[in-house]
Every structure is written in C-alpha cells, then in structure tokens.
C-alpha cells in the first residue's frame, strides 16, 4: 500500500518544522512539495532530500494551492500533510496493512496537538481526511482553511498524526491574524441557520474566549498536562480574542 502513496505538503517559511515532518516520510519514494516562495531556510532543507519534487506557486487560497498540488501527484493515493504534521509509526503501520483490494477511497486521521514536542491529552482539532485516492477528491475553501470533497467512501484511521508546530510566537500571531480575518468574513456572511453551534457562539464575540478556555483545560483535560496544557489553552484563547476583534471591526466599518 505504501508504494501507492505520495505525500503532498504545502510550505511557506517552515524551517522550524519541515525536518521533523520529512524524517517520518523516509518510506516514500516521492514527496511532492508546493512552496509559496519561502524566504527562510525551507528551500535549502528541501533540496537535501532526493525524493522531493518541488513546485513553487504564489499562494492565493488554501483550496487552490492544494488542488494545484493534487495535479502534480502521479500516484493513485495522496497523503496530504501540513508542514508541521508528524506521521506516527503507528499510523504508517496501520496503512501498510491495508488490503490491496481496499474498497475505501479516503481516510480521516485524528490529531494530537504537541507543545514543544509534548503531545497533549486533548485538542480542538477535528479529524481531517488526509489519505485519499487522487481521482476521487478535490479541495474547497472553508473559512481560513480548506475541506476535502471525496466522491467515494471514507473511513477513520485509529492511529494519530502529531501536530507539532514550533514556529516562533511572532510568526504564529501573524498567521492567526490572517486566518481570523478570513474566518470573521465567513461568520458574518453566513446566515446563522447555516452555522454550527460553535460558530454561532463565536459570532457573539464575548463568550467564545471564555468557553474555549474551559473547553481546553477542563473538557479536554489540558489542566492535567501542566504548563503545556495551559500554553495551548492560552494560544486558543488568544486566537478567539483576535477573531472577536476582527468581527467587531468588520461590523463597525459597515456603519
């Protein structure tokens, strides 16, 4: 099964993360990377891996960038990864044991969020369909991120991917600010009856940061992870505060 899979990765200034991701993909004969013209050491790192096929494309939206990447892959199956995703040995072993006559067309993976390499007990990250047949799938934009539309049958992997982002705080803030501008636009332009309960709460601005603090620390058990859990909870609270500020700003600018 592994011989039929090509990992696909998007990069932009990922020198703090990309080596850990690539070190867990040594089984792949080919890795396709779509880079958005990185200005740090990312391209130099990528050049040191012989199995990488590098393509450069100016970033516009996540969906168009991912779909461009799909077009560059030649294998039957694609494993789509962010540059801070670490594929665990357990997940690779699970995939390796799939039957060759597998009737499933795509697989969702669960995540363990890591703080400075330490996996947490819980995360607010939902499962993502990361492994799929190329001829069955395409990406569409969804707020600040993207969704995979799979025309076939999907299933769930039991093993985890580690989300281990070690970029510095200023880069994290820069990215979150960009994401929340897009997310606020989505929330304000979507009728309430088409939003999930969580998004309707976020749209109210005031409650969401407090709710996410309780959710991360208590419901997801972050308080048991020590300072790593508090760090993650503070990150998510700060992201929700940025979203609330952008929603308020957008609402006021309309008047």
Say whether pLDDT at 132 is over 80.
yes
Say whether pLDDT at 254 is over 80.
no
Residues 221 and 156 reside in one and the same domain: no
Say whether pLDDT at 130 is over 70.
yes
Tell which of 148, 163, 178 closes a domain: 163
Residues 137 and 198 reside in one and the same domain: no
Quickly state the pLDDT bin for 102 (edges 50, 70, 90). confident
Quickly state the pLDDT bin for 124 (edges 50, 70, 90). confident
pLDDT at 255: 63
Residues 21 and 131 reside in one and the same domain: yes
- The CATH number of residue 106's host domain is 3.90.550.10
Tell which of 163, 183, 205 closes a domain: 163
Tell which of 133, 163, 193 closes a domain: 163
The answer to whether the beta carbons of residues 19 and 117 sit under 8 Å apart is no
Residues 142 and 178 reside in one and the same domain: no
Residues 194 and 113 reside in one and the same domain: no
- When pLDDT is averaged across residues 228-253 and rounded to a whole number, the result is 94
Residues 113 and 59 reside in one and the same domain: yes
Residues 31 and 151 reside in one and the same domain: yes
- When pLDDT is averaged across residues 232-239 and rounded to a whole number, the result is 96
The answer to whether the beta carbons of residues 96 and 78 sit under 8 Å apart is no
Distance CA 46, CA 254 (A): 45
For residues 120 and 102, which has the higher predicted lDDT (pLDDT)? 120
* 172-203 pLDDT per residue, tens: 999 999 999 999 999 999 999 998 888 999 99
Q: How many domains does the chain have?
A: 2
Residues 94 and 200 reside in one and the same domain: no
What is the secondary structure of 162-221 as a DSSP string? EE-----HHHHHHHHHHHHHHHHHHHHHS-GGGS-HHHHHHHTSSHHHHHHHHIIIIIT-
Residue with tokens 């369909």: 129
Residues 111 and 138 reside in one and the same domain: yes
Sequence-separated (6 or more) residues with CB below 8 Å from residue 77: 1, 4, 5, 6, 131, 132, 133, 134
Residues 146 and 43 reside in one and the same domain: yes
Output the CA torsion 62→65→66→71 (10° steps): 160
* 142-163 pLDDT per residue, tens: 877 789 999 999 999 999 999 9
Say whether pLDDT at 100 is over 80.
no
Residues 25 and 99 reside in one and the same domain: yes
Count, residues in the chain = 255
* 20-76 pLDDT per residue, tens: 999 999 999 999 999 999 999 999 999 999 999 999 999 999 999 999 999 999 999
Question: For residue 204, what are its two tokens?
Answer: 């109210």
Distance CA 5, CA 73 (A): 9
pLDDT at 253: 82
Domain ranges, residue 193: 169-253
Residues 158 and 94 reside in one and the same domain: yes
Distance CA 108, CA 224 (A): 27
- Which range is least confidently modeled, 81-85, 86-90, 121-125, 206-210? 121-125
Distance CA 34, CA 55 (A): 5
């Amino acid at each position: 099964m592994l011989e039929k899979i090509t990992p696909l990765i998007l990069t932009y200034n990922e020198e703090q993360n990309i080596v850990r991701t690539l070190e867990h993909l040594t089984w792949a004969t080919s890795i396709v990377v779509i880079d958005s013209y990185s200005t740090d050491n990312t391209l130099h790192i990528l050049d040191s891996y012989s199995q990488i096929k590098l393509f450069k494309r100016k970033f516009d939206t996540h969906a168009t960038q991912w779909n461009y990447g799909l077009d560059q892959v030649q294998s039957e199956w694609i494993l789509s990864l962010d540059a801070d995703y670490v594929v665990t040995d357990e997940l690779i072993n699970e995939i390796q044991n799939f039957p060759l006559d597998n009737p499933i067309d795509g697989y969702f993976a669960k995540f363990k969020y890591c703080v400075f390499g330490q996996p947490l007990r819980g995360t607010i990250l939902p499962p993502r369909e990361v492994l799929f047949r190329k001829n069955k799938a395409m990406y569409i934009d969804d707020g600040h991120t993207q969704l995979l539309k799979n025309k076939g049958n999907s299933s769930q992997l039991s093993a985890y991917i580690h989300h281990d982002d070690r970029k510095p705080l200023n880069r994290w803030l820069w990215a979150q600010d960009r994401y929340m501008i897009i997310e606020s636009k989505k929330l304000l332009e979507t009728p309430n009856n088409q939003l999930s309960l969580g998004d309707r709460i976020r749209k109210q601005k005031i409650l969401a940061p407090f709710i996410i603090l309780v959710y991360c620390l208590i419901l997801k058990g972050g308080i048991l992870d020590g300072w790593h859990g508090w760090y993650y909870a503070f990150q998510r609270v700060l992201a929700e505060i940025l979203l609330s500020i952008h929603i308020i700003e957008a609402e006021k600018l309309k008047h």
